[in-house]
Amino acid sequence: MAYNAWFSCINGCPGEYDLREVIYRCPTCGDLLEVQHDVEALKSRSAAAWIQLFDDRYQEGMGGALPRQREHRVDVRGQL
């Protein structure tokens, strides 16, 4: 899914700058830049879809770690 974010001036000067661009100040007024998010793109994914996405990533990230944690818990209990 396409999702965009960019820098723009906090004072609302025209101009959008790539987040990978090395730029800290607005070229027009010299004030700070802030990150803008494409909120419409975020809204197009439902809450359930976000939960599913993070759930999938969590499972992938944990890999084989879950069984080891379970064994550890058993060990601790055994020592008490």
Can you give the binding site for Zn ion, defined by CB under 5 A? 9, 11, 13, 26, 28-29, 31
Q: In the complex, what is the shortest distance from the CB of residue 64 to Zn ion, in angstroms, rounded to a whole number?
A: 50
CA distances for 20 relative to 4, 17, 24, 31, 44, angstroms:
12, 8, 11, 19, 25
**Which CB sits closer to Zn ion, 5 or 10?**
10
Give least dist CB 69 to Zn ion, A. Answer: 50
Print the SS3 string covering 47-76. HHHHHHHHHHHHHHHHCCHHHHHHHHHHHH
Nearer residue to Zn ion within complex by CB, 21 or 55: 21
CB of 25 to Zn ion, least distance (A): 8
Query: Using an 8 Å Cβ cutoff, are 34 and 12 in contact?
Result: no
Nearer to Zn ion among residue 2 and residue 35 (C-beta): 35
